[in-house]
Structure 1
Amino acid sequence: MSRIPTPATIEEAPEASRPILETIQKQIGSVPNIFRLVSNSPAALNGIASLQGALGKGKLAPATRERIALAMAEANGCDYCLSAHTFTGAKFAKLDEAEIASNRRGTSNDAKAAAAVEFARALTTARGSVAPGEIVKVRDAGYSDAEIVEIIAQVALNTFTNYVNEALDTEIDFPRIDRLAA
């Protein structure tokens, strides 16, 4: 059970959060617990939904965003996000088991995607203070300046959701995935 109440239905959520939850329901057919839990703060829910929506219209491929989310979940030890993104990575981004395993280890079987995932992992480890060479590596792999900024934005979004889920012990509503052995 989560450490703060999770509205069981859209109607139980704060009124200002309901339109966002209804949109999520229409888009994916359900409202995952992360969104229901965050709906306790309409401002926070609007923030993650807005950033997620904006990045969805950006230059970075959806599969790359999922790869980054998987790497972040493993690096930050977020059981909820690890379970959610393993499911969504396979179902929506069409990542296979080998790719998901690579992403969780902070890399990719695809050379270009590996640069993005490794950069995301470096950002996490260094808390943003990456060496200039890290930017050069991701740019040399073929990422534009816009995509580099979007990788950083994806890391920020995933860090927020990782922290929310771990701090508040969000109940996992996806097939549970265990973290890799250290």
Structure 2
Amino acid sequence: MRVVNLVVVALALGLAACGSPKAAAPLPASLEDGDNCFAQRNWNCAAANYHGYLKTYPNDPAVNAKAGIAYTRAGHHREAVPFYKYAEGLGVITYDMYAGYAISLDATGDLDGAIRANRKALELVPSLVDVRGSLAAQLVRKGQPGDAVKLLEEFDALLKRNGQQPYFTAQIASIKQTAGLN
């Protein structure tokens, strides 16, 4: 009886996480349902559907990346990392994959990996201010405040050259004050 109750609870949680019985498709899950959940920002549902889909089609590079992103956005960082790692091995090179990968690596304690992934995201799209700010904070935690300031000042200088206001003034000042840089 206890085993049956656990199965019922697990099914109920799956339905609640995905929001509807259709979204909690039995394995193999539906790629279409995963994409619909992703579009609706229902990250748990998207992750569950992509994960199920990948049980049948494990070498789909785009879906591995999307599964990682969905898990990250749902706050399930340990679950996300293997999907990113596999997607990267399959040749996925997108800024959003690397940005999400960095978040999950940082959340799981892999600071060096997070720095690497954020650098790759910025190589692809240098104007990502959220990634740049996160990378600067990671560099400070790594004991490299000078590199963090340089990363932010370079971007602000580009903004100024284009007639825009600098973006990272407060973060730069905070890093300099905390690290004793002048």
Structure-1-length-normalised TM-score = 0.27
Find the structure with the greater CA-based Rg: 2
Structure-2-length-normalised TM-score = 0.27
